[in-house]
Amino acid sequence: MKKKFIVLGVLFATFGFTKMNAQINFGDKAIGAVQKGITGFTFSNADAAALSKAAVDKMDTEHEVASATDPYTLRLNRVFGKYTAGDGFTLNYKVYKLKEVNAFATADGSVRVYTGLMDIMDDNELLAVIGHEIGHVANHDSQDAIKAAYKKEALMDAAASQSTTIATVTDSQLGKIGSAIIDSKFSRKQEAQADLYSYNFLKKNGYDVNAEESAFRILAKMSEGTEASFIDQMMSSHPDSKQRAEDAKKRAEKDGLYKPYVQQKIVNTAPAAKTTTKKATTTKKTTTKKK
């Protein structure tokens, strides 16, 4: 154990990851784990949230985040801003200015949406995708994912070696955990349940539930086209778009809500219309006002 710690130490020194170590207090549980072995370690939701937040904070510093006045941010404010109070958790959100088609949500309730996704999804479809991602948080899939990532990085070894009450997560480890969050592979069952969450989210808030099927059709189509490389990440963590589109359609049919979805205009360039607290079902005219 000690030897391993020294090797790790040398590795970190070599890469020079010294400036930003996140102090995450796993306290007594880390010590308990040493006594009981890693399998006895319980990773609470609070632990998952703390580690996720540290990983997301790091990603935020490494990606170009759209500013508060950026049209993409304004659009996300308008579309999603009113839904940050999740079921027993609070969500925060930001836009990453990246061409990739992707979005993810983490155990601490951080939602990150890529401009590449916002470029191809209308408001309802965007909510369908975000609804799916926050479904993973609500269903605790995200907590399980970060726990797995943590174990994989063998942080327990480091924590045990230090024999202190603080587990120090290095910058490089956080980076790997961040990548693991983005690439999280969930089971088919978890995906189906997150899809159902999204469907119910749309339905509950008065949106056209058929946007879910449409969002998956777009992803399925893209994966076959020339722009496939832009959706690699999303497809690797979310395969079977065609099947999921079919499932979404069946759900809507069963509810008597099915109607082929027509994509609405996607506007990421103009400032959003004034945000109001009106019901989600309110249709808003698109303004052509230039910034």
- Identify which range of 17-25, 110-118, 166-174, 188-196 contacts Zn ion by CB under 5 A: 188-196
Binding piece for Zn ion, criterion CB under 5 A, among 4-12, 163-171, 193-201, 212-220:
193-201
Count of residues interacting with Zn ion (CB under 5 A) = 2
Cβ-based nearer residue to Zn ion, 170 or 190: 190
137 is written with which tokens? Answer: 């948080």
Name the residue nearer to Zn ion (CB basis): 164 or 179.
Answer: 179
Q: At what angle do helices 27-36 and 155-162 cross, to 10 degrees?
A: 100
In the complex, least distance from residue 167 CB atom to Zn ion, rounded to whole angstroms: 28
Q: Cβ 130 to Zn ion, closest distance in Å? A: 11
Q: Provide, rounded to whole angstroms, the least separation between the CB of residue 82 and Zn ion.
A: 23
Residues with catalytic function:
133
Query: In terms of CB distance, is 195 or 208 closer to Zn ion?
Result: 195
Give 111-124 as a DSSP string: EEEEHHHHTT--HH
In the complex, least distance from residue 208 CB atom to Zn ion, rounded to whole angstroms:
21
Closer residue to Zn ion in complex, CB, 111/194: 194
Q: How far is the CB of 124 from Zn ion (least distance, A)?
A: 18
Q: Choose between 107 and 194: whose C-beta lies nearer to Zn ion.
A: 194
Stretch that binds Zn ion, among 12-20, 32-40, 79-87, 192-200 (CB under 5 A): 192-200
Q: Which stretch binds Zn ion (CB under 5 A): 11-19, 70-78, 183-191, 218-226?
A: 183-191
Q: Rounded CA gap, 9 and 162, in Å?
A: 11
CA distances from 216 to 195, 210, 213 (A): 10, 10, 5
CA dist., res. 291 & res. 288, Å (int): 9
Contact 123, 282 (CB under 8 A): no
Please report, as ranges, the residues that interact with Zn ion according to CB under 5 A: 191, 194
